[in-house]
Amino acid sequence: MRKFFGYVWKGLDGLRKTLHLLFLLLIFGFIIGGLSGSIPKIPKKAALVLAPEGEIVEQRSGDPIELAIAEARGDGSNETLLRDLVEALHVAKDDARIAAVLLDLRYTSGAGQPTLDEFARAIDDFRRSGKKVVAFGEAYERDTYFLAAHADEIHLDPMGLVAFEGYDRYRRYYKAALDKLGVDVNVYRVGVYKSAVEPFIRNDMSAEDREESQVFVNALWDTYVKSVATARKLTPEAFSSYVATLSARVQAAKGDASKVALDAKLVTALTSYPDVEQRMIKLVGANDDGDSFADVDLKDYLRVAHAEKKLKKTDGPQVAIIVAAGEIVDGEGKAGTIGGKSMSETIRKARLDDDVKALVLRIDSPGGSVLASEEIYRELLAYKETKRPLVVSMGDLAASGGYYISAPADEIWASPATITGSIGIFGLFPTFNRAIDKIGVSTDGVGTTPLSGVRLDRPVNPAMATLLQSVIEHGYDEFLARVSKGRNKTRDEVHAIAQGRVWAGRDALRIGLVDHLGSLQQAVEAAAKRAKLAEGKYSVRYREPELSWAQEIAQSFKTRTAAIVLRYGGSADPQLLQTVQLARRDFGPLEREVLRLNRAAVPGRLYAHCFCSVR
């Protein structure tokens, strides 16, 4: 009898635990559901409002919780995903509810020209549906005007201006400061144009760096002028004349810069935002409150589009897109970087998925760790052994390690303004013996081999210097071998266009580093064609590092909870926030240089990195 009741008790206790768990899961579900909100409704006739915030990027960086906190504070985001903008326009083109697009460019800081071109192509495609695109800006600079140029109407605030700063490449140089601190940066590199290390060993730009930089910034400006002039139906000469004589024109107009832009036909109207709202009411009608036009923003529109897409989702052949954006680092990559391990795992999962019939690798990277680049390269080779197409689409940057991982592709597509090449390798090792000498500290001792005593507080000995340079040269030869194999060129042919030199996409096409100039969409179509997939008979899916279900729930819960708490009572000193933002702006570039030096200053590690960004 006692044993019987014991079984009963254990059974009841097990039932209690099960019910308790189910009850907790039910409560947790209600919390997540309450924080998620409902699917927004789109008016029967509305304008899609695209107001990119911050930089337009291939892949967002930063911790999701920090992003939620910034959004809850009303600070907005400092990044907008390119794919979100393109997808929204693609869906809206065939959506009867969307009658027009308002392109609000007051809050974006721009992007690289290839990224802007992808967005502009989507705007052009949307306009082919016969629906209007209206752009508004309080002022237009280089990047914002590139986008506005593709609109049907360009509205400029009467107090604004249209000014173009062109492209430039300026860097900070630290040798004099390092000398004062007593720090020696020992550099080992291959390639006369491999200038990534120059800030640490020079006080100015080398002749080789100046030569290549002038060539590719000229190429970027040339493609910019042609693209904008074509979009506005102007001659390149008329546009260039406006840029060259802007100061004189504004002076002659007694400072009325907006009228100068209007007279030059760079904008279609001088209009305040309230007047733009009235224009949009004429196009799409008023909202329910009657105080503005009927609209839906990017975030809400994509929520609806994704929900509707899920209802129609079917299994079948896929062209997978994997985005490789940011510096290439060893191990797991955080948001905004490419981890050798995590990226390889993402490619591996695509390789093992039988529904994936072709792979497009979208690269926007200056490179980084050679070891991590090789890890990714090997996984791409494993994918190619399955006899499925591999196509690379280059964004703003695909240089050094970014080109290394492009090498196995069947086809490489780039924008005319993509910065690519920089085929070269370096390593560096800082030593601080002069710094400690200044304060009366010395280092002495004994060792057993020629490599003993390699320390930060001693000069690099000749044996170690010879070893490091030899390893660098071997790494360069391996880099050349991978490019030679992928590009069907000899080692000498690749060496002649390598040596760390950077090329604009249009020049990279001429010398055979890329196969075609075009968009991501064209690269996807090329991959589908190679896989013999009929148009309309395949889906396109982005593949990203996967979180476990527990990680997804925990991250979603923490992110939404942080947003709710701040929205309903959390606050921070606005003056403090402004001070932090200014500090990040002013000291951010220096901080990034120090972090790069810290990452690179590992004995025996090789780096294929191009510090070739432009402004």
Rounded to a whole number of angstroms, the distance between the first and last alpha carbons of the chain is 84
Residue 194 falls in the annotated catalytic set: yes
Q: Specify the DSSP class assigned to residue 293.
A: B
Residue 519 falls in the annotated catalytic set: no
Distance in angstroms (rounded) separating the CA atoms of residues 414 and 549: 36
Contact 31, 522 (CB under 8 A): no
Distance in angstroms (rounded) separating the CA atoms of residues 289 and 277: 14
Q: How far is CA 309 from CA 100, 119, 320, 321, in A?
A: 21, 22, 17, 18
Residue 80 tokens read as 């907008």
Candidates 586, 141, 527; CA nearest to 362 is 527
- ∠ at Cα 609 (606, 614), nearest 5°? 165
Give the chain's count of helices (H) and strands (E): 22, 23
| CA-derived radius of gyration, the chain | 28
Q: What share of the chain is helix, strand, coil (3-state, %, to 5)?
A: 50, 20, 35
Contact 173, 201 (CB under 8 A): no
Residue in the block written with tokens 């923003």: 297
Contact 492, 477 (CB under 8 A): no
Among residues 213, 227, 373, 400, which one is catalytic? 400
Contact 512, 537 (CB under 8 A): no
Which helix (DSSP H) or strand (DSSP E) does residue 102 occupy?
strand 98-104
Is beta strand 46-50 parallel, antiparallel or unpaired with respect to 269-270? unpaired
Q: What residues form DSSP beta bridges with 521? A: none
For 79, the 3-state DSSP assignment is strand
Residue 508 tokens read as 């990279």
615's CB contacts (< 8 A; 6+ apart) are 165, 167, 168, 169, 170
Which helix (DSSP H) or strand (DSSP E) does residue 504 occupy?
strand 502-504
Residue 126 tokens read as 């949307």
Contact 401, 368 (CB under 8 A): yes
Contact 450, 460 (CB under 8 A): no
Distance in angstroms (rounded) separating the CA atoms of residues 338 and 323: 9
Q: Which amino acid is at 542?
A: Y
Among residues 131, 132, 194, 259, which one is catalytic? 194
Residue 550 tokens read as 């527990």
- Catalytic site residues? 194, 400
